[in-house]
Structures are given as structure tokens and as C-alpha cells.
């Protein structure tokens, strides 16, 4: 694959390039795998937004490199996702109790999550 020097591109130039490459990738074979890769880079605690569009749910996640990624979930997939999240929430053990005089734990580093709910 030829190397392209992207260092001179502006943020809007890169956004346009990524959007165009994404549209092109949808039409190229082989298609994106149905199963996610074993390893990948991830945005930790992303900002997110959810809203209804008719009976469907629009879910938007803020990726640090790709920008806002939008998916539309039909009602049955919204219910499946709710079930998975609820099971995960109920399976997380409670944090250990701390002594009354001990300082609270430091907050986790965040990439901007919980800012657009």
C-alpha cells in the first residue's frame, strides 16, 4: 500500500477523507467481518447520545478518531442490548467498603464520556 503523508491535512480534510473512505469501503469485497476482531483500539468512556426515531433507537458514540459513529437499532435489538447491559450491570461486584477517614478514590481517566447524555 502506498504511504500517504497525512500530516499536512487539516481536521476537516481528514474528516472528509475518512467519510469518503468509509463509504467506499462499504462497496468493496470482502465485506467487513460479522464478528469483531480479537483486539482493537477503543475509546474509553465515550460521550454518547441516544434518541428515538419512530420506533427505532438512534445511538451515537463519540470515537476520538472517527468522530460520531451513528447506528440505528430496531426495537428487538434495543431490547437485546438492554438485556445484555442489565446482565453486565448486575454482575459487577460492589466496590469494597472504605474506612470513614480514608480519602475517596481518584476518578478514572476519561475521554469525555458522560458529557452529552
Q: Residue ranges of the domains in the chain?
A: 11-31+46-90
Reported as a single tens digit per residue, the pLDDT across 7-20 is: 999 999 999 999 99
DSSP string, the chain: ------TT--HHHHHHHHHHHHHHHHTSSSPPPSSPPSS----SS--EEEEEETTEEEEEEEETTTEEEEEEE-HHHHHHHHHHHHHHHHHSPPPPP--TTSPPPPPPP-SSTTS--
**Is residue 114 over pLDDT 70?**
no
Reported as a single tens digit per residue, the pLDDT across 25-38 is: 999 999 999 999 99
pTM: 0.69
**Is residue 101 over pLDDT 90?**
no
Reported as a single tens digit per residue, the pLDDT across 49-89 is: 999 999 999 999 999 999 999 999 999 999 999 999 999 99
Identify the pLDDT of residue 68. Answer: 94
Amino acid at each position: 500500500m502506498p504511504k500517504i503523508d497525512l500530516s499536512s491535512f487539516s481536521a476537516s480534510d481528514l474528516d472528509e477523507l475518512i467519510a469518503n473512505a468509509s463509504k467506499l469501503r462499504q462497496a468493496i469485497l470482502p465485506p467487513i467481518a460479522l464478528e469483531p476482531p480479537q483486539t482493537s483500539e477503543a475509546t474509553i468512556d465515550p460521550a454518547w447520545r441516544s434518541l428515538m426515531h419512530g420506533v427505532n433507537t438512534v445511538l451515537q458514540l463519540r470515537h476520538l478518531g472517527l468522530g460520531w459513529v451513528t447506528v440505528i437499532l430496531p426495537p428487538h435489538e434495543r431490547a437485546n442490548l438492554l438485556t445484555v447491559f442489565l446482565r453486565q450491570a448486575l454482575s459487577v461486584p460492589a466496590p469494597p467498603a472504605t474506612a470513614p477517614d480514608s480519602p475517596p478514590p481518584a476518578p478514572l481517566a476519561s475521554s469525555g464520556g458522560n458529557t452529552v447524555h
